[in-house]
Chains A and B, each alone.
Chain A
Amino acid sequence: MDAWHFTEMPYPHLPDNSTIPGIRVNLPNKHLDPKVAADLYNRYLDEHLLADELGLNCMLNEHHQTATCLDVAAPLSAAILARQTRNARICILGNPIANRANPIRIAEEMAMIDCISRGRLDCGFVRGVPYEVFGANSNPTMTLERLWEGIELVQLAWTSHDGPVNFEGRFWHKRTINIWPRPYQQPHPPIWITGSSDKENIKKTARHGFTFAMFLQPHEKVKEMFDAFRESSPDENPNLKLAYMPLVYTADTEAEAEEGAKQLSWYLHAKTEAQFRNPPGYVPVSFNVNALKGKYSGRTDAVRSQGMDYLREQGVLIYGTPDQVVQQIERLQNLLGGFRHLLMMQQAGFLSHERTVRSMTLFAKEVYPRVKHLGIDVPERKVA
């Protein structure tokens, strides 16, 4: 099992929730103090360097116009880590290719990071969560199509070595593709895709040989999606290409663990106005029919309003002493049928640097060695 440290790099110092419409998209940036932001960026990056020292990998993501995530350009943070870490793999999960103007630029950025890190990049591509279409002014009805055309274009750029090639797609026309540098890893960095409910997308991900990641969802749902992936995967061991992210907090005592876990849960309560959570055509007609009937309120509502015991039971939140964390990870691995990559949001909200460091260190030293062997065995034969 590979263990990855992650934080969304939040800016939590905000006015009271009841006084603002939401944290995402339209919270004025006057509420951000650049001096505080500077401290936060440097602290979060320091924690990633610690992850590298501790033998963990580093995962980064990218969001826009939100206080939940200051990492607005994952390639920038990945480049910093490429230069400043030694051993950690660096996963961008992911480049919001559907919302960016130029996939060739992304192909170049990734190739550059791959070279600087000497082949330690894992490159994820995402469609972008619903509220992202506003910042990017990206057509919500086409993000899925743009995602896949963008991936095709990036792979073409990465794997073309004999001079300029042409691509006249639906969304992008590039007539002289010939990127310098080309990726360090051959044929290119491993590609990861994230998902939640779109089974067709998951199957496509499996058939392409990409790694599939899910986040912060009840374990039954995750198992269902993981099984869909396994069914469509041509690999002998599909579990090597599965990834799941819970919130993870490891502490010396149960009481301390509970305190830390509460602070991590800040992330789940981040408020977003309704119209940003389901822009038209982002989800299929059938989902919106349910929304009109009042039966569908967005992708993470199942989780949002629940207490910590529920979150722990669902595998969304893992916390406790090292023994307890080991036990919860073992349980999660069993429930999900085995997965190679444990992505851990070990920092969120107001969780302090000191607490984060302690949690990461305890995890690396007293949990990880005991769970490292999990998730990588070939799963039982698929039923025909």
Chain B
Amino acid sequence: MARTKSKPAKRKPAKSATKKVVKTAARKVAAKSGNGKAPAPVKKTASFVTLFGMKIEVERRGKGRPIVVIPGEEGLEADMPFLDELARKNEVIIPWMPGFGRSERPEWVASMDDVSYIFLDLLDALKLKDVTLVGFSLGGWIAAEMAIKNTTRIKKLVLVDAYGIKVGGKRDRDIADVWYLPAEKVLNLKYVDTRHGVFDYPSMPDSKLEIVARQRETTARLCWEPYMHHPSLLRRLHRIGVPTLVIWGEKDGIVTTDYGRAYAKAIPGARFVSIPNAAHFPQVEAPDRFMKELTRFAR
């Protein structure tokens, strides 16, 4: 009888995962971020994890303690310089929700609640521990929905200009209606310097534009009614039992600092930070101050 080698089984990658190495493109945003530094490129990997029967795309960068970043509804965070800076000392993990990036989107995915379970499964599938979970805008809503359910793998929570709660009454518009308002108005609510929000779409390849269009469609699909919130989320936030930082751009016109403070107030022990000279994207318009707050908290 032939003797088989006894070797410890090589740790298998997650089921149905395929790995691709994706090189970053040259960064052209140094001027935008205003600090004059040209960031060194960071190696990114992208792979797919199957959760709830669908393929979810996950990007990973850097090494160290895990920071899971859930992008906003425009998916812009993945290309922002601050993320690469974070990846110098941490492992940054960016999951793309169904309908975003190259993640599949089955018909039954109908709400942020659904997405929160998918991402909680993701934390399990990747066997992450002591995660700092950072959610931007729509991603903040998802992060909150996750945290009220299960923080076993989550050590800290950061919400940045997050959607998801209703604070006012029937007649109040807590969150500016980004579909009803003209595009120009929306841009002015999102940015102090609107140049940050102007993108040269005609110059982008179709593959990128498909992602942009699909993400817009997905956001509408999941957030049309009730508009950008879950009626019960505010009353569930008390369940979040991990240290929480709520960061807001002082001039955010989509969700104001009043809204942000109400969010923070409902999370036990949460700290609220308002960043001046920034609107809906403090990580773009005041990146130094933003990173200072984030890294100090995530330490």
Contacts and interface: CB of A to CB of B under 8 A. Distances in A.
How many chain B residues sit at the interface, stated as a range, is: 20 to 34
A141 B221 contact: yes
Q: Is the interface of B mostly helix, strand, loop or mixed?
A: helix
Contact of B201 (A140, A280, A292): A292
Given A139-B224, A142-B221, A274-B182, A288 B201 contact: no
A291 B218 CA distance: 17
A166 to B, nearest CB: 21
Nearest to B201: A292
Q: Is the interface of A mostly helix, strand, loop or mixed?
A: loop
Contacts of A280: 179, 216-217, 219-220
Contact of A288 (B204, B217, B225): B217
Nearest to A142: B221
Given A141-B221, A289-B209, A292-B202, A281 B216 contact: yes
Contacts of A137: 224-225
Contacts of B206: 289
Contacts, number: 60
A289 B213 contact: yes
Contact of B225 (A21, A139, A273): A139
A350 interface: no
A294 B180 CA distance: 21
A134 B177 CA distance: 11
B183 to A, nearest CB: 6
A292 B210 CA distance: 10
Contacts of B180: 134, 275
B210 to A, nearest CB: 6
A294 B204 CA distance: 12
A293 B220 contact: no
B181 interface: yes
A275 B181 contact: yes
A279 B202 contact: no
B111 to A, nearest CB: 12
A137 B213 CA distance: 21
Contacts of B217: 141, 280-281, 285, 288
Contacts of B214: 285
**Could you say which of A21, A279, A291, A294 has the most chain B C-beta atoms within 10 Å of its C-beta?**
A279
Interface string A7-33: 000000000000001000000000000
B195 to A, nearest CB: 19
B158 to A, nearest CB: 27
A287 to B, nearest CB: 8
Given A288-B216, A292-B201, A293-B209, A275 B221 contact: no
A293 B201 contact: yes
Nearest to A170: B107
Contacts of B209: 288-289, 292-293
Interface in A241-297: 273-275, 279-281, 285-286, 288-289, 291-294
Contact of B179 (A279, A285, A292, A294): A279
A125 to B, nearest CB: 22
Interface in A130-186: 134, 137, 139-142
A137 B210 CA distance: 26
8 contacts: A141-B220, A142-B221, A274-B183, A279-B220, A289-B213, A291-B213, A292-B204, A292-B212
Interface of A: 21, 134, 137, 139-142, 273-275, 279-281, 285-286, 288-289, 291-294
Given A141-B221, A281-B218, 7 more contacts: A134-B180, A139-B220, A140-B224, A285-B210, A288-B209, A289-B210, A292-B202
Nearest 8 CB-CB pairs, A to B? A281-B217, A288-B213, A280-B220, A141-B221, A292-B201, A139-B224, A280-B216, A289-B209
